[in-house]
Copies of this chain bind each other. A is one copy, B any other.
Amino acid sequence: MAEKSSTKSLTTPEGEKNGAQADLLTLDYNNLTHGAIGDEGLTEAELNTMKKALTSAYKQFEAARTKGLLPFTELPSNTLIPKMCRKLADNYRQKIEAVVVLGIGGSALGANAVYSALRSTNHSASKADKRQWPRLLIADNIDPEGFGALLDGIDPSKTFFNVISKSGATAETMSQFMVIHDKLQRTLGRTSIKDHLLITTDPQNGVLRKIVNANDYLSMEVPPGVGGRFTVFSSVGLAPLAMVGVSVYDLLAGAKKAQEDFSKPVLANKALMFAGLNWLFTTLKNKGTLVMMPYAEALSKVADWFLQLWNESLGKALHLDGSPAGTGQTAVKAVGVTDQHSQLQMYMEGPRDKSICFLGVEKFRGEVAIPKVFKDYEELSYLGGHSLGELLNFERQGTARALAENGRPNMTLTMPKVGAGTLGYLLQTLMLATVISGTLYEVNPLDQPGVELGKKFTYGLMGRSGFSDMSERYRKGLSNKSRYIIL
């Protein structure tokens, strides 16, 4: 189990010897400095400018937080929600084989990131152990082939569905819900639906809340004022994670430590510095792209979670004062070592429009020794006696150094080991950094107005009443000259 093997020391991370924070996350930005990468590197003057901007952003953040405007910061200290989730898990643990999350975007990415990161530990547990907890399936797309395969692969009577949508109007999630509701009703009968369903939605508003009230379905709340991409430590993330055996207490303990560390002075503050450095390289040094590159397969979905957080928060048309912005740094994902054989050439020699953030792990939860075979071949003999984890980390270090020698800025976040506590710390740190970034770019990091127009066109095309003007607008404005279509 995740909580057993990976987070032993994290149940009370505050209590650790000689600096718990060193055990949770390290930010190394040597390869952003003038000394390492030359001309484009960070100078002392720039560092000072950044420090001032961060001090001011931090003050604004704290003022908003004190007014209760940033409730995501309070989630790590909440004790009621994890308890409820834990109880839910205990109630269902023996009855079900799978938990299926019907959700998309922020309703899916947090649980997926944490589960994927901790799953490999689950795998390495003994088979008897493994069966103690259900598996988690995240239905975050409406692809009929994929969703169809998911439906074919589950037994409804042994499956628990967690429908997650704050508004209740998310077309993708609600379509899935309609399919599942119908299927449960036909296979298990109307009254049994209740035993297989948790609806996580707004406490007051929206159609899902209406459905909960009308049918007396089990429900939890998306906390008001917390947007999807900041909900991983609310019931949105914690309920499904608890149900598949993730230690939500350890996860929150790590997040809480990150929240506490956020009060540290600027130059010792990982969240502030992550925000400040990336903002500075975007605005002063034209690094419009931030590559998030974990060197651990377990952290691949953490990068996906981060991409939504960063891109949806910072890509904004307008500044807070209403003036045109068009800001943001586009986060993209790569995975080491694999993408050294795919993306690295572009990062090394292509346009100087990128900064790389490596996400490393000091110690892996399992190792594979490279045996001392083929000793007579010089091209291979050096590998024997090392381990795959060693090779992976040497490759990360070698790549970081090669990029730096080529004047390509990069930084490294290092976790001691993947576990619930270290993940909690990492995720909360990145959420804090994202909100601070919003202040630096002078945009609202908590909204996402740009996605509405596409939704409205979809409503129009689907024939939703009240949106016929959108289908009209779609058809009238459609540029589909056949000379620009090649068959």
| Chain A 175-200 interface residues, beta-carbon cutoff 8 Å to B | 175-176, 178-179, 181-182
**Inter-subunit contact B312/A326 (CB<8 Å):** no
A95 touches B (CB below 8 Å): no
Q: How far is the CB of A109 from chain B (nearest CB, A)?
A: 7
A154 contacts partner chain B, Cβ-Cβ < 8 Å = no
CA distance A297 to B145 in the complex (A): 8
A399 within 8 A of B: yes
Residues of chain B contacted by A402 (CB below 8 angstroms): 453-454, 457
A311: chain B residues at CB < 8 Å are 342-343, 345-346, 350
- Contact, CB under 8 Å: B171 / A383: yes
Instruction: Check A401/B474 contact, CB under 8 A, given A326-B350, A394-B462.
Output: yes
CB distance from A389 to the nearest CB of B (A): 4
Task: Give which listed residue, B35, B349, B364, B486, contacts A449 with CB less than 8 A.
Answer: B349
A421 at the A/B interface (Cβ < 8 Å)?
Answer: no
Q: Which residues of B contact A33 (CB under 8 A)?
A: 479, 481, 484
Please count how many residues in chain A sit with their CB below 8 Å of the partner chain's CB atoms: 157
**A210 an interface residue at 8 Å Cβ cutoff?**
yes
Q: Give Cα A28 to B482, complex, Å.
A: 8
With contact pairs A338-B104, A478-B401 given, residues A462 and B391 touching in the complex (Cβ less than 8 Å): yes
Query: Is A386 interfacial (CB-CB < 8 Å)?
Result: yes
> Within 8 Å CB of A480, what residues of B?
28, 30
Write the nearest CB–CB distance from A243 to chain B, whole angstroms.
22
A interface, over-half SS: helix
Given contact pairs A382-B464, A398-B460, enumerate 13 new A-B contacts (beta carbons under 8 Å).
A33-B484, A105-B341, A145-B296, A211-B374, A312-B345, A316-B345, A330-B351, A348-B450, A390-B462, A397-B474, A401-B474, A401-B478, A405-B477
Query: When the two chains form their complex, are residues A144 and B207 in contact, meaning their CB atoms are under 8 A apart?
Result: no
Residue pair A350, B335 in contact (C-beta under 8 Å): no
Asked if B175 and A391 make an inter-chain contact with CB atoms under 8 angstroms apart, the answer reads yes
Q: How far is the CA of A105 from the CA of B336 in the complex (A)?
A: 11
**A421-461 contacts to B (CB < 8 Å):** 448-451, 453-461
Q: Does A332 contact B (CB under 8 A)?
A: yes
Interface flag for A27 (CB, 8 Å): yes
Q: A172, A298, A314, A342: which has the most chain B beta carbons within 10 Å? A: A342
Segment from A72-80, A245-253, A266-274 that makes contact with B? A266-274
Known: A298-B145, A349-B317, A401-B478. A451 touches B378 (CB 8 A): no
**A163 close to B (CB within 8 Å):** no
Contact A395 B458 (CB under 8 A): yes
Q: Does A168 contact B (CB under 8 A)?
A: yes
List, in ascending order, chain B residues with CB within 8 A of A403's CB. 454
